[in-house]
Every structure is written in structure tokens, then in C-alpha cells.
Amino acid sequence: CAVLDLGSGAGGQSVRMAQAGAQVVAVDQFDFVDTFVQHRSDHGFSADQLQFIRADIVDLPQILNDQKFDVVIFQRTLHYLMYTEASRLLEYLHSITAHALYISVSGLHSLIGDTYPCASEVIEGRYCQLSHLGQEMFSIKEPVCLYDKQELIQILESAGWHIDEYWVSAFGNIKAICSNTT
């Protein structure tokens, strides 16, 4: 099973998937190369079984060269993109993913959303930094686009994904499991 882990961070999820037998490509904009080298050493993974790419997710089409994956894991990262960028990326992921997408985003109606000055903007123009208090509380300094559950469903379906299940966590994050039915 080939898995793409977007916004992988230090690789906790990636390691668990590799331990389960998946071949994992992890992508994050921050430099976790040494951490992934250590994971490979600690667990006896080959570079093919657990690969790390430092990159901005908007550059995926150039980086992955249409490499195919069975599953994409995309946790709390989509909201760092403007809506139009997010839409293009989800369409691209649909074109390179055979089976499933697991996605979670910070919700508009969450604690993060409580400090979000763009909350009343339409989704296409909703992209700004959290209030100063929110930036300090959540350590999110970059602009974000927060979603409500209908907006997340809409962007996923517009990109071609079939939503198998979705829910809102106790913290207000929106999560979905989607399948590629084409």
C-alpha cells in the first residue's frame, strides 16, 4: 500500500503506517530529514519504505511527478492554503489517489475559530491570520482558511471525492474519510 502523508511533521503517523507495511512518502514544509533518517535507522525501514520530502504542498504536482498512491493522509494542513489553492490541490490528489483520502481541518466553529477575524468572510476570500491571542494560544502565525463542515464537504465533492463519512471532533475540527470512485 502506497501512502502519502501530507503535513507529516516529525513523522509519528508515517512511522505507524510503515510499521503496518505501507510504503510512505511524507511531506512537510519544515525540515525533518534527520528525524526521518533516525526513524529509518530505529525501525529498520528502507528509504523506499519511509521517505521524507521537504516541500510546500502547493508544489506537489512538480515534486511527485504524478506518482500514484493508494491512500492520502492530510491532517490539519489544508487550512494553510487559500481556498482556490486548496481546491486545486484536492483535485490533484484525486487524480493520483487510487482509493482513499483521510482529511481533517481546523473548523470555523472551534476554539481556533473563536479568535479568527475573517470568520464572517465568504470562503473564497477567507484567509487571514488569527488574532494575536489566537496566534499565541495555538502557535499558528500563518494566515489560514477555516472551514465549516458544509464548506469542507463542498470543496471535497467539487474536487471529485466521494465522502464516505465525516464528523466534527469535540474540539471543532472537521474530519472526513473520502473515496475515489473514478
Q: How confident is the model over 140-152, as pLDDT tens digits? A: 999 999 999 999 9
Q: Which residues share a beta bridge with 3?
A: 24, 71
Q: How confident is the model over 74-132, as pLDDT tens digits? A: 998 999 999 999 999 999 999 999 999 999 999 999 999 988 999 999 999 999 999 99
Residue whose C-alpha is closest to residue 37's, from 10, 64, 61: 10
Per-residue pLDDT, 108:
94
Task: Flag whether pLDDT at 182 surpasses 80.
Answer: no
Chain centroid offset of residue 86 CA: 10
Q: How far apart are CA 176 and CA 111, in angstroms?
A: 19
The length of the chain is 182
What the block records as the C-alpha cell of 51 is 521517505
Which pTM value belongs to this model?
A: 0.94
Across the chain, mean pLDDT equals 94
Per-residue pLDDT, 149:
95
